[in-house]
Amino acid sequence: MIYSQNFSYIHQFTHKNFVQLIKKYDYKFNEGDIVAGIVFSIEYEGALVDIGASNVGYLSLNTLVSSGFDNFDQIIGIYETREFIIMDIKKKYPQLTLSVRYLEYIRAWERLKQIYLENLILRLHVSSYNKGGLIVNIEGLKAFVPNSHLIYHTNKKNWVNKLIPLKLLEVDEEKNLVVLSYICAILQTYKKKLFIGQIVTGVILNIESYGLFVDIGNIKGLLHISEIANYYIDNLHDIFTVGKSLQVMIVHLDLARGRISFSLKQIMSQQLINSY
């Protein structure tokens, strides 16, 4: 029964009145709508959800989580309230197909795009690795850290299960692609300590035909062969050795792409100028 504020009797509110009221104010749901609902029945492979409409919402196990659970009792409870997204509206039957998994997927991409715009450094666990780099999980999505954005990638097995600083390099929802960089995160951390023209001491990591890769303390950069000397060098292995220390000058610093370049000949030129 419904009463006014002065507790006077108004009328008997029956189930028939309730159904008529629902029909009168029934909201027309559309696919893609995000709705709040209450789980009122749990079955072996699905759950029924009341979303405040004449249509019943149906949630299957595979639209709730990706994997790792056998039944609903492990992850959702009776009378639990949460948000869902409408995936399908069956016109022949008074039922709406709902999903939690896809809603979390949408929101994960929204959060990643926001993190990317804010230029934040994340600390993430490395879950696995392959020939091309490291695999990490971020916001429930798989992401990739390429070898070119690691300091050391010869013993990638040692990175697994470790928590490392990373920065988003590329976020492409259409391609389902998330790329992160360890080098960018480190460079951003040291950005106030590094500057163009600075002379630093590093260790030669490896020698290529086009130049040397030098580590200046968790930061790997390229010393191109054209920046080593003013004369032609036939074989860099004849001059340099992996593991040896080397003084270089920072000549290029790209925080966005995680790239740093060095010069050796500019140090020599500077020393020559200072000698006069």
Residues 187, 73: Cα–Cα separation, whole Å: 46
Regarding whether 47 and 17 lie in a shared domain, the answer is yes
CATH code of the domain in which 174 resides: 2.40.50.140
220 in Cβ contact with 214 (< 8 Å)? yes
Regarding whether 137 and 163 lie in a shared domain, the answer is yes
User: In the 8-state DSSP scheme, what is residue 112?
Assistant: H
Regarding whether 144 and 202 lie in a shared domain, the answer is no
- Alpha helices by DSSP H, listed for 11-163, are 15-24, 101-118
Question: Of the candidates 99, 127, 155, which is a domain's last residue?
Answer: 99
Residues 223, 264: Cα–Cα separation, whole Å: 8
Q: What is the pLDDT of residue 80?
A: 82
pLDDT digits (tens, 9 = 90+) for 193-204: 888 899 999 999
Q: What is the pTM of this model?
A: 0.64
260-264 LR contacts (CB < 8 Å, sep 24+): 260/187, 260/194, 260/216, 260/219, 260/220, 260/221, 260/222, 261/221, 261/222, 261/223, 261/224, 261/227, 262/202, 262/214, 262/221, 262/222, 262/223, 262/227, 263/223, 263/227, 264/223, 264/227, 264/228, 264/229
Q: What is the pLDDT of residue 195?
A: 87
Tokens for 120, please give them. 């934040």
Domains contained in the chain, number: 3
Q: What is the 3-state secondary structure (H, E, C) of 178-198?
A: EEEEHHHHHHHHCCCCCCCCC
Regarding whether 94 and 61 lie in a shared domain, the answer is yes
Regarding whether 267 and 224 lie in a shared domain, the answer is yes
In single-letter form, the type of residue at position 237 comes to H
Residues 259, 257: Cα–Cα separation, whole Å: 6
pLDDT digits (tens, 9 = 90+) for 123-174: 999 999 999 999 999 988 999 999 988 876 668 888 899 999 999 999 999 9
What is the chain's length? 276
Question: Of the candidates 140, 156, 187, which is a domain's last residue?
Answer: 187
Tokens for 61, please give them. 């196990």
First to last CA, the chain: 102
pLDDT digits (tens, 9 = 90+) for 47-85: 888 887 677 888 887 777 655 455 555 667 788 888 888
Residue 18's domain comprises 2-99
pLDDT band at 94 (very low <50, low <70, confident <90, very high): low
Regarding whether 93 and 7 lie in a shared domain, the answer is yes
Average per-residue pLDDT for the chain: 81
Question: Of the candidates 187, 206, 240, which is a domain's last residue?
Answer: 187
- Alpha helices by DSSP H, listed for 12-156, are 15-24, 101-118
Q: What is the pLDDT of residue 27?
A: 59
